[in-house]
Amino acid sequence: MSARIKSNQSKKQATNTSPVASNPNASPPKQSLSPALQRALGLIQKNDYAGAANSLSAAGRDPQVRNTLGVCLMRMGRVDAAVDTLRSLVLMPGTLIERCDVSNAAKRNFATALLMKGLPSGALSVLAEIHEPENLMAIRLHAAIKQWEKSLPWLRRLDWKINGIEPSHCCVPLDFEPGEFDFEVNPKSPIKPGKSSKGSLKLAA
C-alpha cells in the first residue's frame, strides 16, 4: 500500500515539475505544435518567412499561430500588417488593455512591431505592462530606444524626455532580428535564391 502511495506521489511530482506546467511562457516541444505550425516551422528554419506567413494566414486565430505570423511579417518588413496582427492578439477588442492569457513573448513582439512602425512610446508602454526588465529581448528593445534618443536634436530629445512624444515618422534602428517565436527554431540552411522573404503574401481577413 505504501509503495503504491509513493508511486502516485512520484508521478504527481514529475507532472508538477514539467517545464510547461511550471512556466506558461515556456516553449512547447515540437510534438505539441499544431500541423499548421509544424509546416510553418519547416519553412522558418529555412528562413522562408514569406512561405511561412502564407501557410499561416489561413490557419485560424490560435494565439500561437497569430504570434508566429506576426514575427514572420516583421522579418519580411511588413510592419503595418505585423502591428495589426499582433494588436488583435495582445489587446482586448476596442481597448488598450493587454490580455492576460497571451504570452509575454507575443506582447514583446507587439512592442517590437510598434517600435519598427516608429512608435517608441507605444513600445515602452507595452513593455512596462509586462514587468520583465531582465528579459533579453526587452533589454535589446530598451537599448535600441536609448540609442535612438541620442540621435535626436536637443529640442526633440527634450520633448521626448518630458512629454513622451516621438517625432512623426521617426525611425528606431534595430541591430538584431526582430521577433520571438513561442517555440525553438534551429535554422537548417540559408534561404535559396528566388525564395526570399520578399515573396508574395495573401493575408486572411
Q: Can you give the pLDDT of all 205 residues of the chain as single tens digits?
A: 555 544 555 444 444 444 443 344 555 555 589 999 999 999 999 999 999 999 999 898 999 999 999 999 999 999 999 999 999 999 999 888 899 999 999 999 999 999 999 999 999 999 999 989 899 999 999 999 999 999 999 999 999 999 999 998 899 999 999 999 989 998 765 544 444 444 434 433 3
For 91, the 3-state DSSP assignment is: strand
- The pLDDT of residue 96 is 86
87, three cell numbers: 494588436
First-to-last alpha carbon distance for the chain, in angstroms, is: 59
Q: Residue type at 204?
A: A
Question: Domain-by-domain residue ranges, the chain?
Answer: 35-163
pTM score > 0.85 for this model? no
- In sequence order, the β-bridge partners of residue 98 are 91
Domain covering 35-163, topology: 1.25.40
Nearest to 172 by CA among 188, 151, 203: 151
Look at the block and give the residue holding cell 497569430: 66
- The pLDDT of residue 17 is 40
* Residue 199, C-beta contacts closer than 8 angstroms, at least 6 positions apart: 48, 50, 51, 54
Which helix (H) or strand (E) segment is 88 a member of?
helix 79-90
Query: Cα–Cα distance between 33 and 64 in angstroms, integer?
Result: 9
